[in-house]
Structure 1
Amino acid sequence: MADFRSLEIFYWVATFSSFRRASEQVNTTQPAVSQRIAALEHEYGTLFERRTRDVVLTGRGRALLGFAERFLALRAEMEAALSEPGRMTGTLRLGVSETIVQMWLMRFVERMRAVYPAVSVDITVDISPNMQAALLGNDLDLAFLVGPITLPNLVNRPLFSTTVAWIAAPQLITAEAPLSLGALLRHPLITYPKNTSPYVELRDLVLRANLLPSQIHTSASLATIVKMGVEGLGICLIPPDVVRRELASGDLVILPAEQSLSDIVFTATYANRPDHHLVTEAARLAQEVAQAWTDGAGAADR
């Protein structure tokens, strides 16, 4: 009869369609993976159709995958119910949008340390499209990104939304009445990279209005965008929440504008896998931290 280890290895081979990637995931050799799969196939019949570059589940393989997922999920549930959070060990591979780094990431890390003191958090700061690819490739366990990601094997938990505004140094442009899109586009614009939602929305606005912007500068570094804005190099399209200090000091101002921009919605997104109890709990903690931060930010505005 199949044991948990064999079912776990089978699950990862099925997930990646690869013996090699499964061996890396479970930290064993490829021959050891092949041996486990051969033993399962001896007992249950052919589970994979071998191809040149990958493997594909057969009908029997798909049936076994359903049972393997249930076994692994039950084991994770048992371990979660019987283990104390403070004794849980391991590493959470976390991807984060820099917008969240500037807001409440440090509070989340503190909360993780308090609840799971023996769990390390390995943080990667990146743009959302790259983090989505990393989740699908199992290079990240959890990502705080612009979502939701509408793929069947990804779970999205809502975190918060934040407005995006036209923000500039007061010496660059002053206005009391709302500025038209044409007036805004006479100045260089500074925003997120080209494959992000703020840039795509800006591009579509420009195309629909049939206007030619002065320049559009992009950067994956939010700190760089803010610095360029403070130096008067252009109008930033970013959330006011990330420049509260600069707005309070007068280094930056929110420009009145006729054209509003869509809010950015962030989610805690992770792959729907049976053994991800730590990941789901980390996502739940992130929701609590984001809500507390949102409530505190709202109180500060009143």
Structure 2
Amino acid sequence: MVELRSLEIFYWTASLCSFRKAAERMNTSQPAVSQRVAALEEAFGVRLFERRARSVVLTPEGRELMAYAERFLRLRTEMMAAVAGPGIMRGVLRLGVSETIVHTWLMRFIARMSQTYPGVNVDIAVDISPNMRDALLNRDLDLAFLVGPITMPSLVNLPLCSVSLAWIAAPSLALGPGEVTLEELTRFPLITYPKNTNPYVQLRELLAQSNLPPPRLHSNASLSTIVRMAREGLGIGVIPPEVVRHDLEAGRLRILDAAPRLPDIAFTATYPNAPDCGLAARAAHLACDVAAAPDWRQ
């Protein structure tokens, strides 16, 4: 009798092309993975993998078994979603998060996860969206709240929320109370997200179309650092107002009345389209509920 655990180990070995990576994913040892695969090969009387120096690849028989393994694992996920209560869920959710979400509603999501799924631990990695996309594709993350959607058939995207970008500066900067032109803005350094992100690219394109002298454009992977630089009067931050709400209320920063507008940043809850995505899918839908609440913008 072929055990579901063996099929799961086989699936991850095939998906990751490595006994070592499958062992890490399944929280077991590499010899245990090798033994499970060897037992499957003995049970079916065929070789399932071609062993190479640093990887393994499926044989034709292995590819055929892979289709059945996916169906078994998806059926188990559907069964758990249909029958099992939230309290029965166990495991670790490897979550990637954009720092914009950290500064808005992430703590509410963590609180809801703790209440709804007390048996689940959440490991959080804060990173930029391109890095999180790669981590999802490499199966190093189970779920990510990132700038999306990512249009790949191997990933599922759920709309989360969108935030607007604004020109935000310290009151000490010599800018009038009325409307500020792009020419006036570019007299100061502009500080925004890293170079390989959508906000930076959109800002750079806006500036390129203006026919103005190129301004000093500072990119930073740390949103907290961008906020502090703007607060210290070192430049104008091009960031969402939601992340500096308290600074705006306290008068440490202000939103400039500037005509140039940039597109909103749309975030998605994105996870691999995998047979065992049940926990990630549940967490993604819970995140959508949290993000839909209007009070985190106030």
Instruction: Tell me how far apart the structure 2 counterparts of residues 176 and 169 of structure 1 sit (CA, whole Å).
Output: 12
Equivalent position SS for 1:155: strand
Instruction: Tell me how far apart the structure 1 counterparts of residues 296 and 116 of structure 2 sit (CA, whole Å).
Output: 24
Contact 2:128 2:221 in 1 (8 A): yes
Say if 1:37 and 1:203 are closer, same or farther in 2 by CA, change over 3 A: same
- TM-score w.r.t. the length of structure 2 is 0.92
1:152 equivalent to 2:153? Answer: yes
- Aligned-residue sequence identity (percent) comes to 61
Residue number in structure 2 paired with 1:226: 227
Instruction: Tell me how far apart the structure 1 counterparts of residues 13 and 169 of structure 2 sit (CA, whole Å).
Output: 51
| Moved >4 Å (runs of 4+) | none
1:287 equivalent to 2:295? Answer: no
Q: 1:61-210 to 2 correspondence within 5 Å?
A: 61-175=62-176, 177-210=178-211
Cα root mean square deviation, aligned: 2.0
Which amino acid is the alignment partner of residue 180 of structure 2?
Answer: L
- TM-score w.r.t. the length of structure 1 is 0.90
Contact 1:186 1:213 in 2 (8 A): no
Instruction: Tell me how far apart the structure 2 counterparts of residues 31 and 120 of structure 1 sit (CA, whole Å).
Output: 27
Contact 1:18 1:55 in 2 (8 A): yes
Residue number in structure 2 paired with 1:296: 295
Q: 1:20-59 to 2 correspondence within 5 Å?
A: 20-42=20-42, 43=44, 45-59=46-60
Q: CA deviation at 1:98?
A: 1.0
Residue number in structure 2 paired with 1:3: 3
Alignment: residue pair count: 297
Instruction: Tell me how far apart the structure 2 counterparts of residues 250 and 16 of structure 1 sit (CA, whole Å).
Output: 51
Instruction: Tell me how far apart the structure 2 counterparts of residues 265 and 44 of structure 1 sit (CA, whole Å).
Output: 51
Provide structure 1 residue ranges, at least 5 long, that are not aligned to the other structure. Answer: none
Q: CA deviation at 1:122?
A: 1.4
Equivalent position SS for 1:270: strand
Q: CA deviation at 1:210?
A: 4.3
Equivalent position SS for 1:114: helix
Provide structure 2 residue ranges, at least 5 long, that are not aligned to the other structure. Answer: none
Which amino acid is the alignment partner of residue 288 of structure 2?
Answer: Q
Say if 1:202 and 1:78 are closer, same or farther in 2 by CA, change over 3 A: same
Moved more, 279-288 or 211-220: 211-220
